[in-house]
Structure 1
């Protein structure tokens, strides 16, 4: 195979979500576990949680059920050692391995906040919300209940999150932040829904103390101060953002979830909303997953910034890492000894 050398210059590969194939019913012999049941009539049209009907919720459960079935009955087979590795043990996902996923996010937050402390940066916490036309429902001032919003522009939650990204981009491209180096502007962002299902976003931003006033002034100039909020008196930045992260990962907390928590998790699945993202301050997750046994995230980030790793990728697919050298030492080599097999079809 033809490889090409690629040095990572503190630029993160686009973190690909692990896309789990939904297998057709013919792949499995237990048809009862994969039967798709679609109600013709929505029995609860008037009652929605986070904008989801009961049918929406049940559709999400069915989708996750099929994904679980695929992960349970498929495995990676090592042709050399003849060992079997279940796909379920390899996946790190909010739905299919929530505790490992939570630990991964916690590690990333801790490393980010430590980077901020070492660079003598100070936290700013922001909340960005969308204008009223993005809200399908609104609260009636008299009854305090949700009613239809006549100004609704029919934008989906997924598209609404993109609009929030554009809003935040306006601030990131403002001179108050643009003039700072990448190591002087570190952020972590959490997306979550309002009660009516319209998304909003929370951002923990770290900047030099001398830049705080400029950033606050820019925020108030760019956004409506009645619906968007900015705070600078943050005592514990890590616990502050983890409060929102824990809320958006209910499956990692407990087994007996409330109805509201179940619908919250379904909202992310239904609309394919990315729960978290952060600045390109740390080593890419795609690289960290390959080398986490050799380096912690902080060490790997330092190596990336110093351009100490020689990374070879396929010429035809630059996201497919084939070999990694640390100096003259080969520290990673992609193995071709593995094949994907279906456990049920092996009998």
Structure 2
């Protein structure tokens, strides 16, 4: 397989409880978080684990950090990061997903960026995926009252300190808006769709006004794949939303930066036959990514750390100080982790899904979309 990317999980806890999140917010996450903290206490653990799956110095090119809210404990990753930079000369890309909604966030971002400063003239690309669903009436409806204001305050603080970004680091701000089945209905007219995208254009303009060569931003289009049941009525409304977006694109003149505003439009590739290309049919693990967890467990999903509950049930039950409730163990839940013994079979399976034109891939895409 063409492995290029290692995935670490900095924390299992989050400061938010978004309505559409697929991670069940129960007290078991605190117990998992303690396991993650213990695993990072010795940076050689993850460094050695990663080297086993990226044995050549030219193998590792990127590190991703996922979890619940990554920057709550991003400092756990720093020692491993330094070891990876020192060992892999072609490692230059870093990615983290964040809800950027709490007071310490900006300081923690610049603390992370500072970790790369001492390696100049070697350059690094850092992508921060910022979860912001849209204007206040949309974001607050799914992420909680007051969250939009907190995010915008931190975004302003980040931009006010943008000139502190190390000279050998380029930062890409990638907004990731998600529409739940309910919040989608707020975009029921062309005028509301225009207002929605102009909200993001105001943020894009603020980045552009800085005119910094090492800071850039995306033009986000919402994702509507969330773990919630949807019926015929919802599908019909979504079809109308798509239709209105296409009309606005054809009309032109509504936006400063946007040319394409239709959800999932980039997944459609014009060919002689009808086709649909879903570029993220899995979380990447098994194709280019390998996710690493405590006790030599491999994750095959961005939220795979939740399955540590099952893997470490005996340890938790024997620990009288654990916050875990035995009732939280559900043997029927999805399995997103693998032992080192069974991971090669999973990786071979994904290679079939990943093949162009594979019927396995088509089937997996629709199953995955249904699960999500």
Q: How does the TM-score come out when normalised to structure 2?
A: 0.23
Q: Which has the larger radius of gyration?
A: 1
By relative contact order (CA 8 Å, sep 6+), the higher-ranking structure is 1
Name the structure where strand makes up a greater proportion of residues.
1
